[in-house]
Chains A and B, each alone.
Chain A
Amino acid sequence: MTGFLSLGERTAVGAKAHVFFGRLLTDESYWRLLHCDTIQDIVEYLKSLPGFAPYLLSVSPEIHRAELEDILEMLPLRETLIFFGYLTGEQRVYVRCWIDLYEADLLKRTMRSLFSRKQDREQLRQRFALIPKPSFSSEALLSSGSYEEFLEALSGSGYYRVLREPLTKLAGEGGSLFSAETAVDLHVLSALFRAAGKVDPRNGAGILSLVGTMVDLLNVSWLHRSARFFDMHFEEMLNRLLPVRHRLGLPFLRKLSRAESPEAFWDLLRRSCYGGALGESLPKEDFELETRMKQHLWRQAKQLFRRSGIGFHSLVAYLFLRRYEIQDLKTIIEDVRYDFDRRGALLFMVRPIVPGGERAWRW
């Protein structure tokens, strides 16, 4: 009976995920959006698309860029919630961890607003209301006037332990939110990876591989960034990595952290299990490696989605794809708003569309 119900659950969420997948932007939509002249045009066009219309119906065409981005950012969460109600067992735990990515984002926003003393509490309140059964009182969090109160509002939740030291230090000595934000990210991403490991492969083979790849690439990305942009000792770099690993173990990451030049870093990476997936040549621009990593994840998510049959894996893959789609949309919006060269935007986008909008992919 349980097996039958589980099959029903998998089929229901899988079928729904396929319906939602059909509403994702096409190549032509991407080009159409890139050819928009104003934010107004983008809003109008998005309103005509079934994947966006329900969320943008009451949006004014005069909407500010930042507000539009805010609405779009919460869109994958709203969709995730539609599925959350159907799920039970380890699949539910996984989706809960996925929702926690958004909860963590809100938590970071609230911290930032506390830090900058500029907060749109009503907006945050509305967003917190979307999170089902949070482990802390969002009202207490939003009413907090200091980091101590903020921490106190989190007591009893999983975030308390990870934020205790960074926030106490921040309250006492000041500084940036970097450590606190990193701690939150590490917490939720590790939990997602662990949850992916617990999903029964019969319910979704390939999920662990996708999330694991994300974990590995995030670790690589962190090492790349900290080597390029931050003055960090290699142990420090290693300590700020995710505490979970998939295919890239500590010995390899240690070697990467000690790479003496970008060429050496790239050489090591090319010889790893992800070498072929990240392109042939050494990335020329700073952002390029990260874009290639996201593109690799995008392709992997798409492969997972196309895997035969429908099931929980369809949902997991869809949620990844939707998240990247929104990231791309934000890139487009920025390009349109500041009237950058539209073809230049392609370099930053996760979905590899080729000039002209043909169906062939870049890779």
Chain B
Amino acid sequence: MAVVKMLALTLAGPKEETEVVARQMVLRGGFQPIPLDLLVSDRKMRARVGTPTDNPYDTLLTKVASVWHAAGETLPEPSPILSDRSFTLEKARCMVEAAVRKLDLWERRKRELVESVEELEAAKVLLDTLHAVSHSLEDLTTMRHMAVFFGRISEENGKRLLETSEDVPFLPIPLRVQGGDMWVLCFAIPGYRDGAVKLLESVNFKVFSLAQMIERLRSAEGNRVDRLIANRRRAAGGLEKAARNFLFDHRQELVALFNQIYTMQRVYDLCKGRGEIGDMYLLSGWIPEDIREEALSVIAAEAPKTAVFVEETAHSLASGFRVPTLLRNLPFVRSFQEIVAIYSLPSYGEMDPSFLVALSFCAMFGFMFGDVGHGLLLALGGHFLMKRRAVTKAIGAVIKTAGASSVLFGFLYGSVFGMEGILPPLWFSPMEHMDRLLKLSLGAGVGFVTLGMLLNMVARYREGDFGRLLFDGQGLAGLVFYWSAALMAFSAFSGIPLPFPKWVGGTLLLILLLVIFLRDVLARTLLKRRSTEVEESPVVHVFEVLHGLLSFLSNTASFVRLAAFALNHVGLSLAVFMLADMVHNVPGGPILKVLLLFLGNLLIVGLEGLIVFIQTLRLEYYEFFSKFYRGGGSPFRPVGWTGRDLSRSKTR
């Protein structure tokens, strides 16, 4: 239950083993490649490492995809397949050739037919127009004082052509608008031929050659254009049908082949950062320590000539590239990782507060929203939202756990849907023991602030920053100061005398304050070491200390909200009951009463539940995390199969 230890894995071996290694590392998951230029700091060395960018599977994938193109179908959704060592590039090439040889030919023929249909359709449009004005195609081609262009253009571009050609010796005549395309016949004076060509190019005008059109119609030997179009369409349709039948008969094998080729193409793409020196390859990446054995045994079996270097690193590589963070916790705690991640993911080597957050979140939420009925509704609501995917699985689980905690505190308070008296309180009733509630919440505040400071001291110890551990306002000096002040305040309010005179306490506080102010000086003189952090200027430090002292008071007082919201819950419930009682005697009163009770309880669960949720988060983030937690970790992102996977945090 913590931040998982990561290892930097570097694999080096003969080039022929690249594919096997890359496939195993990528497909088994849990591998985040590191670009080699980050690992190799020596520029000369880096210059010798080449990073190949070609992918031998590109062509193969295009060929396999042509089956679907030929059949007029969209490509299947690719999914990764873990193929074994026997699936080599050569084998893949043979399989693809065998599968698509026939299809390739059909596809080419179909394309020719489609092109010819397009030309015939163009001829038909033009012939129909010319026929209406008693002219022939030959009349157009024999014009000596005019350059003629005929073709197709998108409707929008057609409008622009008409608009912009007003002032030039160019006359576009729209013939027909069909399916968003405009067929246009254009005339230009011979001197403007080049200008007309440029003009038409600028609007992406597809020109059909009149001479070719005449030739094609002549070769049709008297057949009508309509019939020719129909025949060619039929032939193209026949080829498509044959391709479709082929795909239908071999779909399973073809999909498997497509997926295998796609998988290998992705493996190559994903490991593009791999380097090559001569006949050797290099591949580096992060793996969690717990899959080390499995990864090593797989590599030993699949790529025996590959050497493996495993390195344990501190927080970052020499290049500054930080070690990614992977969290692994108990199932109950896992959902609370999201709560921590919303604030910030722990950096590698930092303490993971998820477990503490899980416990404290439940305790604080239940304390403020303790009610058997409302807790049950909240848990059901969380379950419903999770099922409807309105919230993430983790947030859904957090809501459910918060609901369960409310139920538990409901029994402790003896509260069901705001009614006290139905169940006997196992602990105490908030309304009847307000002073106790207040003391408990202040006690929780002191406890939390203390815990935060202790955790900060542990973190400082792990960093080796003993100066801040001992003399900082959030370190030992701060802790003693806080407890001394708390004890003196307790004594003043409760009237219980302290075991020592007041002036001793006051002097102690002053000495501690001085220690905190002189933190860096004391660390340098007494411990002979500097802080791992950049030292602030004295002015900033003074303000920081004053802020720290004030935050002792404000952070502790902030926990009074625990009591306030627990009372608020009872108060809101009472208000709902009072309203419901008020409408009881009006006409239709019983129905209105039930309606009010229903809506009122829904409001309490929805609105108050949300507010308490936010208040709990506030106490965690501001009062607790600010004492010890820094975050700023970058998530571990093992290679995945969709772009989203690659860019999303994969904390577990």
Contacts and interface: CB of A to CB of B under 8 A. Distances in A.
Are chains A and B native binding partners rather than an unrelated pairing? Answer: yes
A152 interface: yes
Contacts of B154: 161-162, 165
Interface string B475-490: 0000000000000000
Interface string B44-70: 000000000101001101100100010
Interface string A131-157: 000000101100111101100100000
Nearest to B635: A58
Interface stretch (A97-105, A120-128, A303-311): A120-128
B58 A120 contact: no
B195 interface: yes
A243 B206 CA distance: 19
Contact of B646 (A126, A149, A152): A126
Contacts of A58: 322, 324, 634-635, 637
Given A137-B74, A145-B59, A162-B154, A120 B272 contact: yes
Nearest to A253: B164
A187 B458 CA distance: 60
Nearest to A63: B38
Interface stretch (B197-205, B302-310, B431-439, B513-521): B197-205
Contact of A121 (B55, B156, B201): B55
Contacts of A128: 643
Q: Contact size class for A?
A: 35 or more
Interface string B144-166: 00000000011011011101110
A39 interface: no
Interface residues of B, number: 56
Contact of A57 (B319, B320, B634): B634
Given A126-B643, A152-B69, A250-B163, A240 B74 contact: no
Contacts of B202: 179, 235-236, 239-240
A239 B324 CA distance: 52
B38 A60 contact: yes
Contacts of B201: 179, 236
Nearest to A156: B74
Contacts of B575: none
A233 B198 contact: yes
Contact of A239 (B58, B59, B161): B161
A179 B203 CA distance: 9
B198 to A, nearest CB: 5
Interface in A221-235: 232-233, 235
A68 B155 CA distance: 41
A134 B38 CA distance: 34
18 contacts: A58-B324, A62-B320, A121-B55, A129-B647, A148-B111, A161-B154, A162-B204, A165-B205, A233-B199, A236-B198, A236-B202, A238-B160, A239-B160, A239-B202, A240-B202, A241-B160, A243-B156, A254-B167
Interface of A: 57-58, 60-62, 64, 118-122, 125-130, 137, 139-140, 143-146, 148-149, 152, 161-162, 165-166, 168-169, 179, 183, 232-233, 235-236, 238-241, 243, 250, 254
Interface of B: 37-38, 53, 55, 58-59, 61-62, 65, 69, 74-75, 78, 111, 153-154, 156-157, 159-161, 163-165, 167-168, 170, 180, 195, 198-199, 201-206, 265-266, 269-270, 272, 319-322, 324, 632, 634-635, 637, 642-644, 646-647
Given A129-B647, A165-B204, A235-B164, 20 more contacts: A57-B634, A62-B320, A64-B37, A125-B269, A126-B646, A129-B644, A137-B74, A139-B75, A140-B75, A143-B75, A145-B58, A148-B111, A149-B62, A149-B69, A152-B69, A162-B154, A233-B199, A235-B170, A235-B199, A239-B157
User: 3 closest Cβ contacts across the A-B interface?
Assistant: A129-B643, A58-B634, A165-B204
